[in-house]
Amino acid sequence: MPDALPKERLTWMLTQMVRIREFEERVKRTFEDHPGVIRGHTHLADGAEASIVGSLAALGPDDQLTATYRCHGYPIALGTDTKALMAEIYGKESGICKGYGGSMHLTDVGRGFLGTSGIVGQGIPHAAGVAWAAQIRGKGQVVLSFFGDGASKQGAFHETLNIASLWKLPVVFVMENNNYQAYTKVEQEDANAAVGEPLAVKAKAHSMPGVTVDGGDPVAVYEELHTAVERARAGDGPTLVESKVYRLSAHGNIIAPPGVPLHYPEHEAVKIFGNVEEYEAAQRGDPVPRFRARLVTEGTLSAEEADAIAEAAQKEMQAAVEFGLESPFPAPEKAVDYVYA
Amino acid sequence: MLRTMWRIRVFEERVGELTRANEVHGLVHLSVGQEGVAAGVCGLLRPDDAVYSNHRAHGHAIAKGAPLGPLMAELMGRDGGLCRGLGGSMHLVDREHGLLGATGVVGGNVPLALGSALAGRLAGGDQVAVVFFGDGAVQGGIFVESVNLAALWRVPLLLVCENNGFAEFTPRSAHTVVERVSDVVAPYGFPRETVDGNDVVAVRAACAAFLEDARRGEGPFLLECLTHRLRGHYEGDPQRYRQALADEEWQELDPILRLQRLGAGEGWLDDAEPARLEQQAREEVEEAVRFARASPFPDPSLTAGLVYAS
Amino acid sequence: MARELPYIAAIGEAVHQEMERDEAVIYFGQNLALTEEDPYVKAFGGNRVRVTPISETAEIGMAVGAAFAGLRPVVQLYMAEFMLVAMDQVVNEAPRFYGMTGGEVKVPIVLQAGYGFTAGWAGQHTGTIYGMFLGVPGLKVVVPSTPADAKGLMTASIRDDNPVVFFHNYLLTLEHGDVPEGEHVVPLGEAAVRREGGDVTIVGIGWTVGKALAAAEQLAGEGIQAEVIDPRTLAPLDLGTILESVAKTGRLVVVDQATRHASAAAVIAAEVASEGFSSLKAPVQLVTALDATIPYSQPMEEYLLPSEAKIVDAVQAAVGATVAA
């Protein structure tokens, strides 16, 4: 168990959570305010902020991570310029990937955010490869592999956990279990969930620790990750951490051919399963106001300080939207760049 | 069971000779030493129970009832073979006897068996599906994808792992830290058992218990049989990666000798019977070789007509 | 009787009608049949229609096994690229058994795979990857371009005794067209002549058939009469219809949404060069996507893709390059 976190660290956590939320709300609002600016498929991290920030809080400066197409939150907390992130989502030349990747493929190699696969589960082996490289280099780096509950039914998950355990790779597998595999409830597609077991039991098959944590509590997530990261750093191998989160938006914006305006539908709990109660309970448990209230109640922050964090985030993300809108598109002939390194 | 094991043993040894004589060509994997699993499991199955095998399929085919002549002819690539010579050693199929498919890619047969089990349930009968695979297949993603579905949908599928300690040329310790294959399915909570695969009586007893439940529509089940692959991964494998067993060690393990010792001890096997069974098997296998040699090679134009089903 | 239906609904109607006609047809995949209210579940029950986890390898492998046992599975994969996760099953299991067993085992499965969603889906979900499957003997590859064909080809695919990859184009999802009610079968391996003309043959594939027809209209204004052919099935390929047309026109332009290298367009060009060389009065022109991973940003995306204007240019080049026979 790590020492209690100092005020600066807790403030940092809240700040990153608020920034991610504000960013995601701006992305969502872009569909209404600026139709056509965001194309394709966009996936938001609202509801998972505590899990993301608590996880990244356990990392050292040289540590690395890979994630999925639901990837906006990580680089924000890592310090990537939100202007470059928004511009990428808008398909602009000033984007973090120069407009080549879009929402699903945000990457910031300089900050250790090495890649986001758009295919469920396929980023997990990438993380193991990164960890192998770290093991070879021997500088004590640790890699986090973020993926969802749905990915744990992919062969790639099983194949990778086995190898990582066998080779004692310095990797921590962080499964953000939001209870929905896209539109399907986890108990409809997972043999463990169907009998009420936590998905962390899957670690048993690979002789590695498997723990489940409340992903709505950044400090709890930090503590579990800290233990797992230090275990990995010590050369004792990987851990599977199941972080229970609730995605507050739908899986993604609607999927439609060109010409049909895109928007965010209602959450699957309501839209498909008619379970309004479940969704409202999740909203009441929203980790961002929950953590803010805790810090204010515990006296870590004053309400004014917390408000200032929110205001700064609003200003920052407004500027990100404006930057994204104003930025030019890449020159069309650049389309054939980056075929061969 | 003893007869079946002798038939497999003699068949496999003869195939080894024919491989060295180049009468059987291509990649050949023998199951010498693993006869107890095929005999213990398949002896309990009906023709309408689906069996899926892998690249090491000869023993399963024999135990499931495939005729030795067409089986040998297939290995020799003849028109009279089970698959008219188009499949060969790794792709044996005998629908009549419920040997639905042997696949050459590790683990590729596990979801196929899942599909058969599902089809059996839809058909409303009490048939089961059985899939044989090695310990190497268990590390493949396809294995756990299939296991999750089998457990979620509770299909009558019996997963039989022949754990011979080597995935191809690599010892199990280089593939995984998980000691028992059955531990890989531990998260899914279904019945599983690890038995000494060289003890055919134990294999049969464990399998019988699972089958009884499977015929009532329950499942899946995993039976892990610890076996020993007496020969290399394939015929011609120099086996630099492992130490050969001493003869006396193998005398202890050999599933055939063990059953014969048991039979003699319990008094149901007279002293002359093993030799008779071996001799009978030799005659059958020689007859199979004659059948195969007499069968012509298929007309090369056959392949052109077998691209699409019509 | 025909009535208007969108392309995607025409596919669904074919699956539904075949499930009604033949109890052996089963339908499964990710994110479908989620509730009792699902129309397929209501009609056919939760045994024949099932949601699966994200386990493509197991899904497709299971379809192969169910086919061994006499069923006719239709696997809904949504994105064609998800097949790449399970290439062993698609390429090295399903199409191999028939030949390998000397005709003993048939694998009548349909893999329903959407492709070509060049609408901002960036690098991993927009691929036009049917070309990858053309070199797999025993595997059929179907690429409908109209709602009526989508229905007729899906029906034929389900009834076919072979594994079929049914590639439907995501850009055509909501395109409306006349679709026959009731049973409608379009045989696999038969091309359609979409427009007749004597000056140049344009072969379009899937989404590019519409582009080719639009280009042909424009060219007619310039006095060039183009014949437009839609192969409808890429494997097996109806080369005869294409060769007949080229014998008449002497010029060939092949349009493909896929990247050029090892594309279906390249295969067609090679076949015509090989089998119809004496008919050709000009080099074959290929109008394909440029060889690059599809970028997210719209201007770059459009730059890579074939377009009406590029087809017109290619036809003019073919006509202009004509050599004396």
Q: What is the C-alpha separation between B189 and B192, in angstroms, rounded?
A: 9
Contact B122 C60 (CB under 8 A): no
Q: What is the C-alpha separation between C192 and C203, in angstroms, rounded?
A: 10
Cβ atoms of C284 and C271 within 8 Å: the answer is no
Cβ atoms of B241 and B170 within 8 Å: the answer is yes
For chains A and B, CB pairs below 8 A equal 69
Residue B250 has pLDDT above 90, yes or no: no
On chain C, the residues whose CB falls within 8 A of the CB of A181 are 30-31, 53-54
Q: What is the C-alpha separation between B246 and A173, in angstroms, rounded?
A: 44
Contact B145 C88 (CB under 8 A): no
- Beta strands at C192-195 and C252-259: parallel, antiparallel or unpaired: unpaired
Contact B178 A157 (CB under 8 A): no
Picking from A122, A124, A146, A162, the residue whose alpha carbon sits closest to that of residue A242 is A146
Q: Closest residue of B to C188, CA-based?
A: B308
Residue B69 has pLDDT above 60, yes or no: yes
On chain A, the residues whose CB falls within 8 A of the CB of B187 are 192, 197, 201-205
Q: What is the reported pLDDT for B89?
A: 85
Q: What is the reported pLDDT for C296?
A: 86
Each residue of B186-208: b (16+ CB within 10 Å) or e? bbbebbbbbbbbbbbbbbbebbe
- C81 touches A: beta carbon within 8 Å: yes
Who's near A270: CB < 8 A, 6+ residues apart? A276, A279
* d(CA A10, nearest CA chain B) in Å: 36
ipTM of this predicted structure: 0.89
Contact C120 A40 (CB under 8 A): yes
Q: Closest residue of A to B174, CA-based?
A: A166
Residue in the structure block whose two tokens are 């498929």: A41
Cβ atoms of A251 and A43 within 8 Å: the answer is yes
**Torsional class of A6: left (φ above 0), alpha (ψ -120 to 50), beta (otherwise):** beta
Among A159, A166, A206, the residue with its CB nearest the CB of B141 is: A159
Residue in the structure block whose two tokens are 């995607």: C8
Contact A201 B176 (CB under 8 A): no
Contact A157 B189 (CB under 8 A): no
Q: Closest residue of A to B185, CA-based?
A: A205
Residue B292 has pLDDT above 80, yes or no: yes
Cβ atoms of B164 and B132 within 8 Å: the answer is no
Cβ atoms of A77 and A52 within 8 Å: the answer is yes
Q: What is the reported pLDDT for B139?
A: 82
* d(CA A337, nearest CA chain C) in Å: 8
On chain B, the residues whose CB falls within 8 A of the CB of C63 are 115
Contact A190 B140 (CB under 8 A): no
Contact C299 A182 (CB under 8 A): no
* d(CA A107, nearest CA chain C) in Å: 14
Average pLDDT over residues A312-327: 98
Contact A158 B175 (CB under 8 A): no
Residue B90 has pLDDT above 60, yes or no: yes
3-state secondary structure of A284: helix
Cβ atoms of A221 and C134 within 8 Å: the answer is no
Residue bearing the bigger pLDDT, B230 or A172: A172
Q: Which residues of chain C have pLDDT under 70?
A: 322-325
Picking from B127, B197, B135, the residue whose alpha carbon sits closest to that of residue B163 is B135
- The amino acid present at A87, given as its one-letter code, is A
When pLDDT is cut at 50, 70 and 90, the band that residue B166 belongs to is confident
* d(CA A254, nearest CA chain C) in Å: 13
Q: What is the reported pLDDT for C30?
A: 87
Backbone phi, psi, residue A315, to 5°: -65, -45
Between the CA of residue C208 and those of A338, B302, C169, C251, C261, what are the distances in Å?
Answer: 26, 38, 10, 18, 17
CA C231 to chain centre: 9
Cβ atoms of A125 and A158 within 8 Å: the answer is no
Contact C296 A105 (CB under 8 A): yes
Backbone phi, psi, residue C256, to 5°: -145, 135
Residues, chain A: 341
On chain B, the residues whose CB falls within 8 A of the CB of A159 are 139-141
Picking from C311, C308, C305, C235, the residue whose alpha carbon sits closest to that of residue C267 is C235
Between the CA of residue A144 and those of A7, A16, A222, A243, C238, what are the distances in Å?
Answer: 25, 18, 13, 13, 51
On chain C, the residues whose CB falls within 8 A of the CB of A156 are 85
Residue B167 has pLDDT above 70, yes or no: no
Q: What is the C-alpha separation between B108 and A219, in angstroms, rounded?
A: 44
On chain C, the residues whose CB falls within 8 A of the CB of B141 are 57
- The amino acid present at A54, given as its one-letter code, is G
Between the CA of residue A26 and those of A32, A322, B240, B260, what are the distances in Å?
Answer: 10, 11, 63, 78
Contact B141 A192 (CB under 8 A): no
Contact A39 C55 (CB under 8 A): no
Between the CA of residue A242 and those of A39, A197, A225, B138, what are the distances in Å?
Answer: 31, 12, 10, 23
Q: Closest residue of C to A337, CA-based?
A: C292
pLDDT in tens, A218-265: 999 999 999 999 999 999 999 999 999 999 999 999 999 998 999 999
User: What's the mean per-residue pLDDT of chain A?
Assistant: 95
What's the alpha-carbon Rg for chain A, to the nearest Å?
19
Q: What is the C-alpha separation between A82 and A76, in angstroms, rounded?
A: 6
Helix (H) or strand (E) holding A317: helix A303-326
* d(CA C102, nearest CA chain B) in Å: 5
Q: Does residue C176 carry a catalytic annotation? A: no
- C57 touches A: beta carbon within 8 Å: yes
Helix (H) or strand (E) holding C40: helix C39-48
Cβ atoms of B212 and B221 within 8 Å: the answer is no
Q: What is the C-alpha separation between B255 and B228, in angstroms, rounded?
A: 10
Residues, chain B: 310
Q: What is the reported pLDDT for C298?
A: 86
Q: Closest residue of A to B182, CA-based?
A: A205
Who's near C149: CB < 8 A, 6+ residues apart? C186, C192, C230, C232
Burial of B180 (0-12, 13-18, 19+ CB in 10 A): middle
Q: What is the C-alpha separation between C74 and C77, in angstroms, rounded?
A: 9
How many CB atoms are located within 10 Å of the residue C195 CB? 18
* d(CA B106, nearest CA chain C) in Å: 10
- C321 touches A: beta carbon within 8 Å: no
* d(CA A40, nearest CA chain C) in Å: 4
3-state secondary structure of C51: strand
Mean pLDDT lowest among A120-134, A164-178, A217-231, B225-239: B225-239
Residue bearing the bigger pLDDT, A233 or A136: A233
Q: What is the reported pLDDT for C325?
A: 46
Most B CBs within 10 A among A206, A212, A242, hence the mutation to make, goes to: A206
Picking from C13, C19, C82, C73, the residue whose alpha carbon sits closest to that of residue C54 is C82
Between the CA of residue C11 and those of A140, A224, C44, C111, what are the distances in Å?
Answer: 54, 48, 17, 13
Termini Cα distance of chain A: 44
Q: Closest residue of A to B183, CA-based?
A: A205
Q: How many CA atoms lie within 13 A of C104 on its CB side?
A: 25
Average pLDDT over residues B60-88: 93
On chain C, the residues whose CB falls within 8 A of the CB of B85 are 102
Q: What is the reported pLDDT for C314?
A: 98
Cβ atoms of A45 and A17 within 8 Å: the answer is no
Q: What is the reported pLDDT for A318?
A: 98
Contact C102 B306 (CB under 8 A): yes
- C125 touches A: beta carbon within 8 Å: yes
Q: Which residues pair with C200 in a beta bridge?
A: C226
Cβ atoms of B226 and B203 within 8 Å: the answer is no
User: What's the mean per-residue pLDDT of chain C?
Assistant: 94
Give the pair of three-digit tokens for residue B21: 């004589």
Angle between helices B255-266 and B35-42 (to 10 degrees): 60
Picking from B175, B103, B107, B176, the residue whose alpha carbon sits closest to that of residue B147 is B107
Mean pLDDT lowest among A261-270, B161-170, B223-232, C46-55: B161-170
- From start to end of chain C, where are the E strands? 2-6, 25-30, 49-52, 72-79, 110-115, 140-142, 164-169, 176-180, 192-195, 200-204, 226-230, 233-235, 252-259, 285-289
Q: Which residues pair with C125 in a beta bridge?
A: none
Strands of C200-204's sheet in order across: C192-195, C226-230, C200-204, C252-259, C285-289
Residues of A with CB under 8 A from a CB of B: 153-159, 162-163, 165-166, 189-192, 194-195, 197, 201-207
Picking from B57, B180, B52, B43, the residue whose alpha carbon sits closest to that of residue B114 is B52
Q: What are the CB-based long-range contacts (under 8 Å, 24+) for A260-267?
A: A260/C174, A261/A31, A261/A35, A261/A36, A262/A31, A262/A35, A262/A38, A262/A39, A263/A31, A263/A32, A264/A28, A264/A31, A264/A44
Please tell me which chains touch C, using 3 or more CB pairs under 8 Å as the contact test.
A, B
pLDDT in tens, A40-86: 999 999 999 999 999 999 999 999 999 999 999 999 999 999 999 99
On chain A, the residues whose CB falls within 8 A of the CB of C54 are 120-121, 150-151, 153-154, 181, 189
Picking from A218, A295, A207, the residue whose alpha carbon sits closest to that of residue A48 is A218
Among B141, B175, B178, the residue with its CB nearest the CB of A155 is: B141
Positive or negative: CA dihedral C199, C200, C206, C209: negative
Give the pair of three-digit tokens for residue C225: 């009469």
